[in-house]
Chain A
């Protein structure tokens, strides 16, 4: 074309070439991503490092002050002196030492000014003792006693003897606890069931006056059964009493005499000592052993001392079971609702309005869901269930069964909370199913539901799973609504256990996210609880990550099966 050839070539301005090349955009977008990744990994790394280091045995330092006082403990924080403020405040560098021995000193932790410290050392026999009650004890082993008998004297002998005797004592103590909690708990439940049966028979008699003869027979039968149960329980109780008494007698008298840094001697009963270690003597392998042991206790035991020590097993159990039940509840509801919206409802203003409403529902503060759950699920729904099926407990014990917070109601509340996420994700997944697949199915003579069930749903499944993953991640980390509908500070009876009917959806439960709040902000010994908070957070993040990884793995399997990578 002639005219083109004659026109002079337009020079590209450097500005247009810059935007065309897109360098600034690469930097801007890449920078934003890098910043986001840095913040997230930074937070996670912080949690992971703090959480994972809690249980590592730290050396015990003997701090000798200029005024002659002595203290033994772990240095948990050091503060450098700031030249500018030191002159004004007169404060030099100082360190926070976990001195433990609360019953002796009235303190768990103490600050020491470096200026006042004469000497710091790590004595070989310094021992840290974790106890069932009263917190940590730091000191030096003096003697091991059994009643009036002295088993060992001197730190080395005493420590050896302690390591020999302690496991058996602990084993007996655990057996006693098991009998008390488990066997006696079961007897108590049997007793209560029999008593409530009598009350129920009485209630039936009151309501069904027409056939009073047979009803009173039922009452008599219930009363007779109760007598039987009482007799059986009493017999069994006596047996258990004998067992526990024997075990307790065996444990009695075992004590470890410990001398604190200040020279005060105390005899600690052996069965009250959970764990003892001598960090200054431990090899790396030994430290690893203590570390693993403390993690194991943390993961598998019940909490002690207002949740600031011991394990968090009930909370792990509660978190996982609640999240799974929530997912099981929200999946069918969300998918069905989305199916209706996308596949059946005709497009129009009403459908659009419903869709917008659902999207907005995701923005309602979660505490509102909690209040709704409490009012509707616990009081209205649970109250009616109690009226219908658990009157006896209501009348005799003034105790609601379903009419209060519990695992089921909490799961339902969270299912409601996460419903919008699932609906939106499912709708998106459904609309991403190519129409050609639906047409192919119709052309084969399939009906609408057949097409949905056999073609659309399988194909949309990975997308639906994405919605569920998001819902689970959101639900597992939620605290506010749970406080209203069934999460408790302490609930050792698990919602799923070995007693009939094995699943107890009405029971209150513990939850890791609530535990973080409880341990971190409600604990009387907040300094000691701080590392626990990090560990629990670490665990919660790990559990959510684990659930997500499992779901993502499942999704990728489904994807490989159902979604084509064209050609």
Chain B
């Protein structure tokens, strides 16, 4: 991996002349800027390896040479100002961007060693190995029960007992079981926003995904529902590999093990959450996480 070859600036001590936004200005000017990756990240076993990944929407490049390993069974947060390509990166992982006609990519990603962008890769099968939760809760127009077991249903699973078990496990896993166990066969549309989002998480973990992708799962929720979803992410920690996009610094610092800071389609700095929030290598990162910019 070429990350290791990147020159790493000494921690803390930056030359006086470099201001907090130097690198970011360089990025904005279109120059290549190397990613700062903390060595702790490279020690963890990765579930997903993103390797020199570039993506274009038509003529416009949205991701520039992203190289980052996502550690197994950890929560990794993606932060950065809006429009910097966080969602794009997430949607590239399960190849949802294939649905956008103008998208073109180079580079690759590997899920537990399997190349995701291999032409022989069956996209449908690939997506079954991941779960995704979107910014706005999107429960399907069917019962709560059917929502949860959707992934199994489309796989042709019709064994009632198996479905029941998965349904209960997933809903318990999403901390929703107690609230809905008496109305599993009611429409999912009747749930509150926070419940709907947890239902979407239950749906995403029902098929035992290798990676769970969460795209700003709390941004459409009120503070109480947000708290519940955050608690849930805490619980998922250690059991699932989670890649979460968030706008909220507190959320990132509370819920994640690793944090990656992106800017204008580039990975700027990537390290453990405590590293990024307490002693970041770059002043730019410090400025962003403390809210002085962004």
Report which A residues bind B (CB closer than 8 A). Answer: 434, 436-437, 439-447, 450, 454-455, 458-459, 560-567
Known: A562-B189, A563-B189, A567-B193. A443 touches B132 (CB 8 A): yes
* B192 x A454 contact (CB < 8 A): no
* B99 x A441 contact (CB < 8 A): no
Question: Which residue, of A439, A443, A458, A562, has the highest number of chain B Cβ atoms within 10 A?
Answer: A443
- For residue B96, which residues in chain A have a CB less than 8 angstroms away from its CB? 439, 442-443
What per-residue 1/0 map shows which CB atoms of B226-258 lie under 8 Å from chain A? 000000000000000000000000000000000
Q: State whether the Cβ of B203 lies closer than 8 Å to any Cβ in chain A.
A: yes
- For residue B136, which residues in chain A have a CB less than 8 angstroms away from its CB? 436
- CA of A565 to CA of B187, assembled, Å: 12
Min distance, Cβ A215 to any Cβ of chain B, angstroms: 52
Closest to A436 in B: B138
Closest to B101 in A: A346
Partner of A445, one of B124, B142, B189, B193: B124
- For residue A437, which residues in chain B have a CB less than 8 angstroms away from its CB? 138, 140-141
- For residue B16, which residues in chain A have a CB less than 8 angstroms away from its CB? none
- For residue B140, which residues in chain A have a CB less than 8 angstroms away from its CB? 437, 440-441, 454-455
Known: A439-B96, A439-B99, A442-B96. A561 touches B141 (CB 8 A): yes
- CA of A81 to CA of B213, assembled, Å: 87
Min distance, Cβ A447 to any Cβ of chain B, angstroms: 6
Q: State whether the Cβ of B128 lies closer than 8 Å to any Cβ in chain A.
A: yes
Closest to B98 in A: A442
Q: State whether the Cβ of B207 lies closer than 8 Å to any Cβ in chain A.
A: yes
In this complex, how many residues of chain B approach chain A with their Cβ under 8 Å: the count is 31
Partner of A567, one of B127, B187, B192: B192
Known: A561-B187, A563-B189. A445 touches B138 (CB 8 A): no
* A436 x B154 contact (CB < 8 A): no
Known: A437-B140, A561-B141, A563-B141. A442 touches B127 (CB 8 A): yes
Closest to B143 in A: A561
A-B contact pairs, 28 of them (CB 8 A): A434-B138, A436-B134, A437-B140, A439-B96, A439-B99, A440-B134, A440-B140, A440-B200, A442-B96, A443-B96, A443-B131, A443-B204, A443-B213, A444-B131, A444-B150, A444-B154, A445-B155, A446-B124, A454-B140, A455-B140, A561-B141, A561-B189, A562-B141, A563-B189, A564-B139, A564-B189, A565-B189, A567-B193
- CA of A565 to CA of B155, assembled, Å: 30
- CA of A446 to CA of B138, assembled, Å: 15
Q: State whether the Cβ of B27 lies closer than 8 Å to any Cβ in chain A.
A: no
Closest to A444 in B: B151
Within 8 A of A (CB), among B98-154: 99, 124-125, 127-128, 130-132, 134, 136, 138-142, 150-151, 153-154
Known: A440-B134, A454-B140, A459-B141. A447 touches B124 (CB 8 A): yes
* B154 x A446 contact (CB < 8 A): yes
Closest to A440 in B: B138
- Work out how many contacts link A and B, with CB atoms closer than 8 A: 81
Chain A binding surface SS class: helix
- For residue A436, which residues in chain B have a CB less than 8 angstroms away from its CB? 134, 136, 138
- CA of A188 to CA of B139, assembled, Å: 62
Report which B residues bind A (CB closer than 8 A). Answer: 94, 96, 99, 124-125, 127-128, 130-132, 134, 136, 138-142, 150-151, 153-155, 187, 189, 192-193, 200, 203-204, 207, 213
Min distance, Cβ B109 to any Cβ of chain A, angstroms: 16
* A455 x B131 contact (CB < 8 A): no
- CA of A226 to CA of B153, assembled, Å: 58
* A455 x B125 contact (CB < 8 A): no
- For residue B200, which residues in chain A have a CB less than 8 angstroms away from its CB? 440
- CA of A444 to CA of B150, assembled, Å: 8
A-B pairs with lowest CB-CB distance, top 6: A445-B128, A562-B141, A443-B132, A564-B189, A445-B127, A436-B138
- CA of A561 to CA of B190, assembled, Å: 9
- CA of A446 to CA of B96, assembled, Å: 12
* A442 x B99 contact (CB < 8 A): yes
- For residue A560, which residues in chain B have a CB less than 8 angstroms away from its CB? 187
- For residue B150, which residues in chain A have a CB less than 8 angstroms away from its CB? 441, 444, 446, 454
Question: Which residue, of A444, A450, A454, has the highest number of chain B Cβ atoms within 10 A?
Answer: A444
Min distance, Cβ A350 to any Cβ of chain B, angstroms: 16
- For residue B151, which residues in chain A have a CB less than 8 angstroms away from its CB? 444-445
- For residue B207, which residues in chain A have a CB less than 8 angstroms away from its CB? 444-445
* B203 x A444 contact (CB < 8 A): yes
Closest to B95 in A: A442
- CA of A22 to CA of B195, assembled, Å: 41
For the A-B complex with A440-B138, A446-B124 known, give 16 more contacts whose Cβ atoms are closer than 8 Å. A439-B96, A440-B132, A443-B96, A444-B207, A445-B154, A446-B150, A455-B140, A458-B141, A458-B142, A561-B189, A562-B141, A562-B189, A563-B141, A564-B139, A564-B141, A564-B189
Min distance, Cβ A270 to any Cβ of chain B, angstroms: 63
Known: A445-B124, A445-B207, A563-B189. A439 touches B141 (CB 8 A): no
Partner of A443, one of B130, B141, B192: B130
- For residue A561, which residues in chain B have a CB less than 8 angstroms away from its CB? 141, 187, 189
- CA of A560 to CA of B186, assembled, Å: 11
- CA of A563 to CA of B204, assembled, Å: 21
- CA of A434 to CA of B137, assembled, Å: 12
- For residue B99, which residues in chain A have a CB less than 8 angstroms away from its CB? 439, 442
- For residue B189, which residues in chain A have a CB less than 8 angstroms away from its CB? 561-565
* A454 x B154 contact (CB < 8 A): yes
Min distance, Cβ B245 to any Cβ of chain A, angstroms: 14
- CA of A291 to CA of B13, assembled, Å: 102
Min distance, Cβ B244 to any Cβ of chain A, angstroms: 15
- CA of A472 to CA of B140, assembled, Å: 30
Min distance, Cβ B97 to any Cβ of chain A, angstroms: 10
Min distance, Cβ A406 to any Cβ of chain B, angstroms: 40
- For residue B153, which residues in chain A have a CB less than 8 angstroms away from its CB? 454
- CA of A127 to CA of B289, assembled, Å: 99
- CA of A441 to CA of B127, assembled, Å: 10
Closest to A456 in B: B141
* B125 x A445 contact (CB < 8 A): yes
- CA of A442 to CA of B204, assembled, Å: 12
- For residue B193, which residues in chain A have a CB less than 8 angstroms away from its CB? 566-567
- CA of A186 to CA of B142, assembled, Å: 51
- CA of A441 to CA of B204, assembled, Å: 10
Min distance, Cβ A558 to any Cβ of chain B, angstroms: 9
Closest to A567 in B: B193
- For residue A455, which residues in chain B have a CB less than 8 angstroms away from its CB? 140-141
Question: Which residue, of A441, A562, A564, has the highest number of chain B Cβ atoms within 10 A?
Answer: A564
- CA of A459 to CA of B151, assembled, Å: 18
- CA of A436 to CA of B154, assembled, Å: 18
- CA of A566 to CA of B137, assembled, Å: 9
- CA of A442 to CA of B154, assembled, Å: 11
Closest to B206 in A: A444
Closest to B220 in A: A567
- CA of A180 to CA of B141, assembled, Å: 56
- CA of A459 to CA of B138, assembled, Å: 12
- For residue B124, which residues in chain A have a CB less than 8 angstroms away from its CB? 445-447
Min distance, Cβ B259 to any Cβ of chain A, angstroms: 24
Closest to B151 in A: A444
* B154 x A450 contact (CB < 8 A): yes
- For residue B142, which residues in chain A have a CB less than 8 angstroms away from its CB? 454, 458, 562
